[in-house]
Amino acid sequence: MAKCILELNGVRVSFADRLVLDLDHLSVYDGDRIGLIGENGAGKTTLLRVLSGDLTPEAGQVRRLSPVAMIRQQGDSDAGDDAETRAQFQARGARENLSGGEMTRNRIAGALSARAGLLLADEPTTDLDREGLALLRKKLAGFDGAVLLVSHDRALLREICDRIWYLEDGKITVFPGGYDDFMAERLRQRERQAFEYDQYKTEMKRLKDAAQRMTEWASSVKKAPSRMGNSEARLHTHEYTNAVLGLSSAKRKIQNRMEHLEVKEKPRTLPVITMKLGVTHPVEAKNALEFRCAYLQAGGKTLLRDSGFVLPTGSRTAVIGPNGCGKTTLLRTLTGQAGSGVQFRGNTRFNPAVRTGWFDQHHESTLNLDGSVLENIMRESVHPEHFARTVMACLGIRGDDIYKLLSLLSGGERAKTALGKLLLMDCNTLLLDEPTNHLDLFTMEELEKLLAGYGGTLLFVSHDEEFIRKTATRILCFENGSLKTFEGGWEEMKAPRKKDTAEEDRKIAVTKLEMQMAAISARLSSPKKGDRPDLLQEDYMRLAEELRELKNLSGS
């Protein structure tokens, strides 16, 4: 039986007047692979800080029966003293002049070097390139201990986690199974909730209608006319009294039934965007941007030389490449915000009709933290407030939350505000640097839909393959100091490599057949005892036919 390595009891954490965590009991066992899921602001990072000991809860206790290490979401981190781990993640240990991905590598290497029994990972894929992500997956899958993972990378959650903790309204619901099992069960629960709500509405309407009919019947029962005789009047009064009492009793039963009918809450549904974003002032030209680069350098390192690309109007282009290759520097150069440490020689030509919007990884500089979400998004919005609220609801900020001050919100909620503000501005070309960082999984899915239907032009940096697949129509890839364009999305980019692999497999098969035929030919020339030349000849002809078919397929 697995050993319990962490136990939580009666933990309560509040910020201002809001109860963030209200947890009765949680346990983590050696070998657990747990995915922690919840909306931005639900308290996922707060829970990890409580479990790690960084934050002391106002009530309750956490028993740590094994050393705990944590990959933090942001901030500087020591790369650790394990030389092998540092080398694997190319962790430089420096704290200056590092890209976002290089800082993430430092944080990962530092946490893994601790050799703890429980690894808490808070968005460990942030800014990681494909090579770093593959190495992280391998390390988490083979980790000797338990892993509690917060991530917006759906592929990583699917591969690593066999149990989900869902954090909502301060409570944890445990779902056995992986991410897809959790999402399927969540959908079933929503469908059941919608069915029960419809049944509740139908029954409530039936009871209200019945109560109304009782009222109408009671008012239609007449008292005895004044000219009626005494005996007739007594009989009529008796009948009238019985009718009224009967109707009153029936009405009370209906009202009692209404009062005791279990209330079913209306399931939360997202509003539908009926207006296309990014088309207030469309660009009529073929290309929104043309970029030519003689060289692009940063910190003495040459990032690009003799390269360039065009950005077709209405396209959605993802920029990919390894950490430190220059993706963020490229976008900053295009927006004129490269900084003094960057040297660029070339030409950037936006079409005169282009109106750019820029989402920086450090997006908080574009926000007023002393203002509300609504004040921030409406400051430069070209859309009415009701439409702006619809966009923000799709991004996960609903109802009265739109009046909250940004200073009180989580990093993910601030990112949603910055994205919403950008989508509502008078822009027709968006440049986005890692727009999914710090977003919860549910918001990512809605952002995918918003961007896939965006009427303007997109150029964005992302390391999330699923997000790229669902959003991009083109790929711009950094390769050895140059830019390579793949028309079509992620699958089209991967297709040539699949074709090359198939061709390589055919070449290997041809070589094997030729070697087998050479061996049979040698035996036909000098038969050994027991050889049957007729059977050897049949084998030779069969292999020759296979070889001919393979060569026809490869065109050789």
**Max Cα distance, the chain (Å):** 137
For residues 427 and 512, membership in a common domain is answered with no
For residues 157 and 221, membership in a common domain is answered with no
Full residue range of the structural domain in which residue 104 is found: 4-177
Is 203 within a domain?
A: yes
For residues 419 and 299, membership in a common domain is answered with yes
Helix ranges (DSSP H) in 39-99: 44-52, 83-88
For residues 371 and 477, membership in a common domain is answered with yes
Give how many domains the chain has, as a whole number: 4
Q: Please say which residue of 177, 204, 234 terminates a domain.
A: 177
For residues 481 and 500, membership in a common domain is answered with no
The 10 Å Cβ neighbour count of residue 307 is: 19
d(CA 245, CA 256): 16
Asked if residue 430 lies in contact with residue 123, where contact means CB atoms within 8 angstroms, the answer is no
Is 267 within a domain?
A: no
The sheet carrying 342-350 orders its strands as 301-312, 287-298, 342-350
Please count the residues of the chain.
Answer: 556
For residues 252 and 303, membership in a common domain is answered with no
pLDDT at residue 253, rounded to an integer: 77
The pTM for the full model equals 0.71
Is 134 within a domain?
A: yes
Q: Please say which residue of 448, 465, 488 terminates a domain.
A: 488
Highest mean pLDDT among 6-10, 72-76, 338-342, 432-436: 6-10
Is 8 within a domain?
A: yes
Which one, of 482, 478, 483, 556, lies nearest residue 513 by Cα? 556
Q: What is the pLDDT of residues 503-539, one digit of tens each?
A: 667 776 777 777 777 777 777 777 777 778 777 788 8
- Mean pLDDT calculated for residue range 217-221: 61
Is 269 within a domain?
A: no
For residues 327 and 475, membership in a common domain is answered with yes
Whether residue 420 is predicted with pLDDT greater than 70 in this model: the reply is yes
Is 407 within a domain?
A: yes
For residues 137 and 73, membership in a common domain is answered with yes
Asked if residue 185 lies in contact with residue 175, where contact means CB atoms within 8 angstroms, the answer is yes
For residues 456 and 309, membership in a common domain is answered with yes
Q: What is the pLDDT of residues 428-457, one digit of tens each?
A: 999 999 998 888 888 898 899 999 989 999
